[in-house]
Structure 1
Amino acid sequence: MRLGILDQIPKSKGRSAEETVAETLATVQYAEKLGYERYWFAEHHATKGMLSSSPEMMMAAAASRTGSIHVGSGGILLPQYSAYKVAAQLLQLQALFPGRIDAGVGRSPGGAERVRSALADGKENQPAEYPDKLEDLARYINGEQVKGVRATPRTEEAPALYSLGLGENSAELAASLGVGYVYGHFINPARGQAAHDIYQQQFTSGVMRSPHALTAIFIVCGESDEHAENLAISQDVWLLRTEKGLDSRVPSVQEAKFAKRTKQDQKKIKENRKRMIIGGPHTAKEELKRLAERYQNDDWLLLTNIYDVEEKRRSFERIASLF
């Protein structure tokens, strides 16, 4: 198994933004010591609880505090930005930290329409532009001219480019352009096998010479199944509230246990568990192996959005020790 982390920088209740970001950078350093291969940052805007609003900034901060771990974006909201500007930022990072930059991009609007509009400076939402922008981005970071312009700095090697997706269409696009592919099992677990199959079968050499797929999944690995279930309660309630557009800060285990939940809420929590692995070391290992076999893929990005940062680190440590 090849292990990485995808961090939305979830803020626990009672913690400040400054404390949360400092703890996140310490976690990157710890992940490197544990042998994790990569540490990626998401992009979210205008929420109380997810603080990763500028993955490029977090990548620079994380890389400057580490020596070998790859840092990446999971992912930059490409439809809202200029492909040239995104390329310039990624190439600048690659020049600063050669061989350590993973450039993950996606077509998400980034939040509510008013947020998306602010990001795009009032431009209409045009997700259909994503394939063209992704192709332009691939050409820019490869040193090619696009519309008579080359992005700088011109690094000896290009950053590793990945496209995020949730199904067959996104896998086909990544394969056709010869870029890496990241499947969001933590968002939609239903299309993973088909997406991975199409990506592997249809890949043509481009930015990457051979296919490279990653799978992103929620995971909590406790000392035992019972311990993991207790820790995961805060993630269950956090996800439920976040999807409702409510407070997206992570509640404590105590608050989560006593939070009012309707029958519909309980049903939703049960449904959301399909997006997660929750268990002790044996359960976590067997579930990861089962999904790796189904997807024919052994490269993972792990998300752990629980309340206690020390328990989160111990969860990552247990998973690292399994493989």
Structure 2
Amino acid sequence: MTRFSVLDLVPVREGGTVDEALAATTELARHAEALGCGRFWVAEHHAMDGIAGGATSVVLAHLGNATSRIRIGSGGIMLPNHTPFQIAEQFGTLDALFPGRIDLGLGRAPGAGPELQRALRKNLNEAAEYFPQDVIELRALLTGDFELPIAATPGLGSNVELWMLGSSLFGAQLAARLGMPYAFAAHFAPDQLDTALELYRREFQPSAALDRPHVMVAMNVFAADSDEEAQRIASSQQQSFVRLRSGNPGKLPPPVENYAATLPAPARAMLDHLGQAAAVGNPERVREAIAAFVERTRADEIILCGATYDPNSRIRSLELTIEACTATQTA
């Protein structure tokens, strides 16, 4: 049976505030837990007006207090932005606060221009080159699987579940070599999905944490009572994506009726390309699209993405999606 989880960017909408965005994410996490979702992940982004999850471990601490059972984690922490020791302390602390509920998804892409590099006091391109070594060091700081000259407290001996994130063959190969579960970001970069999953499964080497390959794939999902309403609520994220790729990012805009029809051909093609990892429509249409995607990828888990301008629309979308998919799997 496929498990479902939720990825949230803590979106800040036009006319809204950061505190409203954090409150909406908290409410979404509560609903995800009530619906039986396995995980609730928050992604690290910096210096973006429309995303408020930059201090990821702080957000996760708040979500941990607002929930009681669901696993919470990073989807992901961009390790080149940090030192392994700092992340070991942060996530070791989270595990002490919320035992057995913490995931640590790790990504390599710094995603930063020169201004952010100066603000972080790091050469992120150089730091990215050391990503494999940093992952190994971070794992050792948490597990003690080889001796280091310093111990992280909190951190050492904690029960943090490490994940490798990726959208290319590099992450798949590293996850396989280190025996880590692998999450593929198909929701924004589907090009190498099939090749990466095949490589990961073929080259997987068992580890102390994982004895067989385990795959989670991210998918944009917008469910509503009608196809038309689903397309409408999906248009906010579509607008954000087009603006981002056009070099003009901002806050999450209100939905637009028939948005795709207003776009020039290149922008429509870009959205159509992302549609191979998306499900938009009424519950039955969404269920069929997710089922086909699971059959294609053989994913153990699907992590659901999809920001909506009205936070209640995302909660309703999640409810409809889980109800439709769970009913079919149970039957």
Fold in common (TM above 0.5): yes
Aligned 8 A contact 1:28 1:62 in 2: yes
Matches within 5 A, 1:17-166: 17-119=18-120, 121-123=121-123, 125-126=125-126, 127-153=128-154, 157-166=158-167
Shift of 1:263: 3.6
Over 3 Å counting, the alpha-carbon distance change for 1:28 and 1:80 in structure 2 is same
Distance 1:272 1:320 in 2: 22
Q: Give the unaligned 5+ runs of structure 1.
A: none
TM-score normalised by L of structure 1 = 0.93
Over 3 Å counting, the alpha-carbon distance change for 1:47 and 1:160 in structure 2 is same
Shift of 1:187: 1.9
Amino acid at match of 1:225: D
**Which 4+ residue blocks in structure 1 deviate beyond 6 angstroms?**
none
Match of 1:233 in 2: 235
What's the RMSD between the two structures over aligned residues? 2.1
Aligned 8 A contact 1:220 1:231 in 2: yes
Distance 1:190 1:300 in 2: 17
Match of 1:189 in 2: 190
CA deviation profile, 1:204-235 (whole Å, cap 9, x unmatched): 22252233221111111111222211221222
Q: Give the unaligned 5+ runs of structure 2.
A: 327-331
Distance 1:60 1:170 in 2: 27
CA deviation profile, 1:101-150 (whole Å, cap 9, x unmatched): 0001101113323213422x143522221111111111111124554222
CA deviation profile, 1:62-92 (whole Å, cap 9, x unmatched): 0111110000001111012111111111111
Aligned 8 A contact 2:278 2:289 in 1: no
Q: Secondary structure at the match of 2:191?
A: helix
Q: Which moved more, 1:29-38 or 1:147-156?
A: 147-156
Distance 2:260 2:321 in 1: 29
Match of 2:4 in 1: 3
Confirm whether residue 12 of structure 1 aligns to residue 19 of structure 2: no
User: Taking every aligned residue pair, what percent have the same amino acid on both sides?
Assistant: 30
Residue 310 of structure 1, aligned match among 303, 312, 317: 312
TM-score normalised by L of structure 2 = 0.91
Q: Secondary structure at the match of 1:86?
A: helix
Q: Secondary structure at the match of 1:189?
A: coil
Amino acid at match of 1:216: A
Match of 2:329 in 1: none
Over 3 Å counting, the alpha-carbon distance change for 1:254 and 1:184 in structure 2 is closer
Q: Which moved more, 1:240-249 or 1:24-33?
A: 240-249
Shift of 1:247: 3.6
Over 3 Å counting, the alpha-carbon distance change for 1:258 and 1:287 in structure 2 is closer
Aligned 8 A contact 1:160 1:180 in 2: no
